[in-house]
Amino acid sequence: MNNKEVLRKMAEYDQQNKLTVSEREELWNMALGLQSVDGYSDPSILLTILSSYNIENQLSEEEVTEYLSKYYRYVEMKLAKQKEIDLVSSRIVSFLKQDHSFSLSSNYIKQIHHYLFQDVYAFAGEYRQTSLMSEETILNGDYIYFTPPYEIEPTLNYEFQQEQYFLYNHQYSEQVIEHLINFVSSIWQVHPFREGNTRTIAIFIQQYLKSLGYTVNNTPFKENSLYFRCALVRSQYQNAKLKIDYSYEGLRKFFENLLLDKNHILDPESLMVFNQGETVKYKVKK
C-alpha cells in the first residue's frame, strides 16, 4: 500500500469516527429497513450485536462484515454435514428395507454408493479419479494410502472373484470369521469413492451376509461404528521402522460381537499406535 492509499484510508477512518452514535444508528436502521423490500424481516441476533458495537464505534463496518462472513462459512459447513447425516441415514433405512437381488460385484458396490449419497454428492456411484490418502488419529497422525484410481475396478473384481471360491456354512466358525475380516479389510482398502466408503462397505457386508442366510446383530454398527473404521485402518497399516505389522484383532472383536453376540469392549483408543515412550499427539473423538 503506497502513501496515498494510507492517507486515503486514514481519512475514511477519520470521517467514520466523526459520525455520532445517533447518526451511525440511523444508517443501520435504514440499511435493515431496506431489507423488507424483498420480504426480509428481522436480522440475526449476531448482526444485532455486531451492529451495536459498530454504532458505539467499537467495530468498523469491515470488521462486522468479516465476522459475519466467518460465521456463515461455519454455519454452511455445519449444515452441509447435518444434511449428509440426515439424508444418508434415511437412504440407509430405505435401502435395507427393500428386497435387493444381491450381487457380489463392483457394480453392486457402485449401486449402494449411488443410492446412499445421491442427495449429497454429484459423484455418487462414481469411482474417484484421483489418488487418496488419509491422516489417521489412531496412527498418531500417520497416513494410510488407498488403491490408485487405475487399479480400483481390477482390484475389486479380483477380490470378488476370489470370494466366490470360499464355501460358507450356516454356522459361524473361527475360519468363517477370519476369512470374512480379511475380505472386508481388502475391499475397504480399495476406497473406490471420494467420500462415503466405510458406510458403503458396511451396507454391502450386511447385504452379503443376509444373502448367505446369516442373521446380523446390528448393535455393533449402531454403537461402535467409529471402532469399526479404526479397526479397518489398523488392518491395513504397517510401519517397518516402528516394527508395527498389520493387525486384524480389532476387526476380529468387532465381527465376533456382530455375528457371535460376544461382548468384547470396543474402545477406539485401544487401537492407537505410536512410538514407545512418545507422547500421544491425538485423541480419538468419540
**Digits of tens for pLDDT over the chain (286 positions)?**
554 554 455 445 545 557 788 888 888 888 888 787 767 778 889 999 999 998 888 888 889 889 999 999 898 888 888 989 999 999 999 998 887 789 999 999 999 999 999 999 999 999 999 999 999 999 989 999 999 999 999 999 999 999 999 988 766 778 889 999 999 999 999 999 999 999 999 999 999 998 988 888 788 888 899 999 999 999 999 999 888 999 999 999 999 998 888 999 999 999 998 654 444 444 555 5
Pick the closest to residue 51 from 19, 13, 25 (CA basis): 25
Q: Which residues of 208-228 are buried (b: 16+ CB within 10 A; e: fewer)?
A: bbeeeebeeeeebbeebebbb
* Cell 475391499, residue located: 187
Question: How far, CA to CA in Å, does 89 sit from each of 5, 219, 231, 232, 285?
Answer: 54, 16, 22, 21, 21
**Lookup: cell for 255:** 465381527
Q: Which fold has domain 106-271?
A: Fic-like fold (1.10.3290)
Question: What pLDDT, on a 0 to 100 scale, did the predictor assign at position 279?
Answer: 41
The span from the CA of 250 to the CA of 188, in Å, is: 15
The whole-model pTM stands at: 0.78
Residues 84, 199 contacting (CB under 8 angstroms): no
Nearest to 172 by CA among 102, 233, 261, 104: 261
* Nearest to 106, CA basis, from 151, 74, 39: 151
Q: Which amino acid is at 19?
A: L
Instruction: For residues 50 and 56, give the distance between their C-alpha atoms in angstroms, rounded to a whole number.
Output: 10
Q: Which long-range contacts (CB under 8 A, 24 or more apart) does 219-227 make?
A: 219/257, 220/254, 220/257, 220/258, 220/266, 221/258, 223/266, 224/254, 224/257, 224/266, 225/198, 226/268, 226/284, 226/285, 226/286, 227/254, 227/266, 227/267, 227/268, 227/271
Phi, then psi, of 144 in degrees rounded to 5 = -115, 140
Domain ranges of the chain: 1-98, 106-271
From CA 132, how far away is CA 65, in angstroms rounded?
36
Measured distance CA(28)–CA(92) in Å, rounded: 48
